[in-house]
């Protein structure tokens, strides 16, 4: 895939796409997303709201919108969240207004959310494109989690159990990407996004221009 600056006259689609990306912790979602944002023009990341504490390297409004449980409940009660879920004892949710505005304006949004949130988004937006990132195996995923050294033994075991539960829902997604080789995973992941942005339903203006 070419770098962003090497694209030949990229034209945004007439209608934006909503991409839902899920996968267990440790499968490389963040790495795949960062590279996709670098090489594919027109993608925007939806910043989720959460009640969990920020980690040392995270920034408000960039990684998440950090808020209290009371503030989160107020957004939930007023219908201001597109989806919400409880993960590892904290709440996460996607603010509705920015996503709806972007799609109406022809921009494309990426939601990095868990299987619970993805199910809610599929109900609210049947045209959402869902992508699940798979590990080669649970054993390899456990090895990755231990190697990165961010969690203690109890948390690692819990993440593996929850990963197994998430994998049981992977069949509900439109696309599956197995990250057993990072270069190959990047290519496959980006190919899905580019192909979806060139669906006929999103490029009606091209047909009109070609016939004029």
Which of 51 and 63 is assigned the larger pLDDT? 51
b/e code 165-192 from CB counts within 10 Å (16+ = b): ebbeebeebebebebeeeeebbebbbeb
Residue 153 has pLDDT above 80, yes or no: no
What does the pLDDT average to over 167-187? 95
In this structure, the dihedral spanned by the alpha carbons of residues 199, 194, 105 and 111, taken in order and rounded to 10 degrees, is 120
| 3-class DSSP state of 122 | helix
Report d(CA 117, CA 48) in Å as an integer: 11
108-143 pLDDT tens trace: 999 988 898 899 999 878 889 999 999 988 877 877
The Cα-based distances of 16 to 11, 29, 77 in angstroms read 12, 22, 28
CA-derived radius of gyration, the chain: 18
Identify the residue with better confidence: 45 or 124.
Answer: 45
Mean pLDDT of the chain: 88
- What mean pLDDT is predicted for residues 183-187? 96
Predicted confidence (pLDDT) at residue 147 exceeds the cutoff of 80: no
Residue 164 is predicted with a pLDDT of 85
Mean pLDDT of 38-46: 90
CATH class of this structure's domain 15-201: alpha beta
CA–CA gap between residue 198 and residue 3 (Å, rounded): 18
Whether the model clears a pTM of 0.75, i.e. scores above it, the answer is: yes
Q: Which of 40-49, 56-65, 98-107 has the lowest mean pLDDT?
A: 98-107
Q: Where are the domains of the chain?
A: 15-201
Distance, CA of 22 to CA of 42 (rounded, Å):
20
- Please choose, from the candidates 52, 25, 23, 14, the residue with its C-alpha nearest in 3D space to the C-alpha of residue 150: 25
């Amino acid at each position: 895939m070419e770098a962003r600056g090497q694209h030949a006259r990229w034209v945004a689609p007439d209608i934006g796409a909503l991409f839902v990306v899920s996968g267990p912790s440790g499968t490389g979602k963040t790495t795949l997303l960062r590279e996709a944002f670098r090489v594919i023009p027109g993608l925007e990341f939806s910043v989720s709201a959460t009640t969990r504490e920020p980690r040392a390297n995270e920034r408000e409004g960039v990684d998440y919108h950090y808020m209290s449980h009371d503030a989160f409940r107020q957004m939930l009660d007023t219908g201001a969240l597109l989806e919400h879920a409880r993960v590892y004892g904290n709440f996460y949710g996607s603010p509705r207004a920015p996503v709806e505005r972007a799609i109406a304006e022809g921009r494309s949004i990426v939601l990095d959310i868990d299987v619970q949130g993805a199910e809610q988004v599929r109900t609210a937006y049947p045209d959402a494109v869902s992508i699940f990132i798979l590990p080669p195996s649970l054993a390899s995923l456990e090895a990755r989690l231990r190697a990165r050294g961010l969690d203690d033994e109890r948390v690692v075991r819990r993440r593996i159990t929850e990963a197994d539960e998430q994998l049981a829902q992977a069949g509900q997604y439109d696309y599956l990407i197995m990250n057993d080789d990072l270069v190959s995973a990047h290519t496959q992941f980006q190919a899905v996004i580019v192909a979806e942005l060139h669906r006929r339903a999103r490029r009606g203006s091209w047909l009109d221009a070609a016939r004029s």
